[in-house]
Amino acid sequence: QAGLTQPPSVSKGLRQTATLTCTGNSNNVGNQGAAWLQQHQGHPPKLLSYRNNNRPSGISERFSASRSGNTASLTITGLQPEDEADYYCSAWDSSLSVVFGGGTKLTVL
């Protein structure tokens, strides 16, 4: 049950665009796509998108997800201070398990 690979940290300026990546393999991201979650310090995670680019109601259009092969991406446009958080990707794996990435800490400068 190997995890997905995410960069530990990304820093971008206010109102800029950040793209976070998540790399898996053909058994998880490449097969089922990925979900993305946002977690602010001291709070539970919140789902931002599932199966690549389906957004739950209430999630801003500034968040968009995509996938190319075994790599999923989350793009956040017009960065705001409240976007500073930890971001996790997740995917169903054919080994009958759910795998998470190690998380990316997004800093908005």
Q: Which of 13, 17, 80, 98 binds other proteins (CB under 8 A)?
A: 98
Write down the least CB distance from residue 98 to other proteins, Å: 4
- Encoding tokens for residue 37? 């979650």
68 binds other proteins (CB under 8 A): no
Site string for other proteins, 25-64 (x = CB under 8 A): ----------x-x-x----xxxx--x-----x--------
84 binds other proteins (CB under 8 A): no
Contact residues toward other proteins (CB under 8 A) are 1, 35, 37, 39, 44-47, 50, 56, 86, 88, 90, 96-103
